[in-house]
Structure 1
Amino acid sequence: MDTNLEGFKLRFAEINDVSLILEFIKELASYEKMLHEVVATEEILRESLFERKIAEVIIGEYENQPIGFALFFHNFSTFLGKPGIYLEDLYVKPEMRGKGLGRIILSFLAKIALDRKCGRLEWWCLDWNEPSVKFYKKLGAVPMDEWTVYRVDDEPLEKLATKFLEQ
C-alpha cells in the first residue's frame, strides 16, 4: 500500500520474505549489541509467522527496495477488556533513518490497532537507545517507568513448567 511519502510503500510479509525478515532481525540485533542472542532460523520464522500465525510482519519498501520491518502481535488488556498490539521489533536501515519512515510504520500500526478495535499500541525500548527514546516521546508515547519487565526462559522456564505437575 502506498504511503504519504513518495516512493515508500508498506506491505504485509509473505512466506517468501522469511529470509529477508531474518536478515532484518539480525541487523537489528547487531545494532542492539545482541546478535549473539539470535537463535531464530528461517524454519522457525516460517512456522511461527506463516503456519501458526503467532505474529505479523510489515515490510517497508523505498523505491522498491526493502528498508525495514515491523513485527507485532496481539496481546490483551484485562483492565480495558480489549486487545492491544505489541510491537516486538521496528527496524529501519541506518542509511534510511531520518526520512520519516519509522513514523509512517508506527502510524500504520496505530491504524491497524484502531481498525481492529485495540485499546493500545505498546513496545519496549532499550534505555540506552536515546535516539529512539526521543523519537517515541515526540510521537506521544509514554514510558511506563513504574513497571519492571520480568522474563523466564531457557532452564528456569523448563523448571517452572515442571512445578505444574508437582504436588
Structure 2
Amino acid sequence: MSHTTNIPNFTLRFAKETDVPTIFNFIKELAKYEKMSHEVVATEALLKESIFERNMAEVVIGEYENKPVAFALFFHNFSTFLGKPGIYLEDLFVLPEMRGRGFGKTMLSFLAKLCVDRKCGRLEWWCLDWNQPSIDFYKQMGAVPMDDWTVYRVNDESLIKLASHCGNQA
C-alpha cells in the first residue's frame, strides 16, 4: 500500500521482500556518499533474513514517478526515562540527483507521524560530524544535536571477547 505525499508523483511505501536488491543498492550508495564503502559487509541474504524473516528493522521506500529514489531503514528502541518506545532511524538516503525536492523532509515527516501513531516518545538518529549539509537540514527540521552524549560501540573481536565473559547460561 502506497502513501501519497504533498509532492506530486512522490509516494512512500513499506518495503517488501522483493525490494531487498533495491535496499542493498541504497545501502551501497549511502556508504559511497559517506566514504565508508569498505565497511559494507552486508549481503542481500543477510538483509532478507534480518529485515523480513527476523523482523529486526523496517524500511520505507520513497518512489518518484514509480521509481525508487530514497529509503529509510529504522527500528524501535526504548527509553526507560520516558517509559515508551522510540524509533531509531539508522539510514535515510535520497539519490543525489533527487535531492532538493523535499523527499528527505517528507520521509522524516512520515517517520515522525509513525512515531506519533505508534505512541513512541521520540525519533532519533546519528549524523556524521563532517556532514554539514545534513546537519543543517536536520536542524531546520527542528532536530537538536545531543552534544552531551558520546556513542560507544563494541564489535568484531571485542564483541566476541565481551560476550565470552557472561558465563554459561542454563
Q: Counterparts of 1:142-157 in structure 2 under 5 Å?
A: 142-157=144-159
Unaligned runs of 5+ in 2: none
- Aligned residue pairs, count: 166
* Residues 67-119 of structure 1: CA deviation (Å, up to 9, x unaligned): 01000000000000000000000000000000000000000000000000000
Map of 1:48 onto structure 2 = 50
Equivalent residue, structure 2, for 1:124: 126
RMSD value, Cα: 0.7
- In 1, Cα distance between equivalents of 2:125 and 2:81: 18
Residue 63 of structure 1 aligns with which residue?
Answer: 65
Shift of 1:165: 1.2
CA drift of 1:45 comes to: 0.3
SS in structure 1 at match of 2:41? coil
CA apart distance, 1:136:
0.1
Distance 1:130 1:84 in 2: 25
User: Structure 1-normalised TM-score?
Assistant: 0.98
Match for 1:31: what amino acid? Y
User: Equivalents in 1 of 2:83, 2:160: separation in Å?
Assistant: 31
For 1:162, the aligned partner's letter is: S
Once the two structures are aligned, what percentage of the paired residues are identical? 70
Gaps of 5+ in 1: none
Which residue of the partner structure matches residue 27 of structure 1?
29
Secondary structure of the structure 1 residue equivalent to 2:148: coil
- Tell me the equivalent position of 1:75: 77
Q: CA deviation at 1:134?
A: 0.1
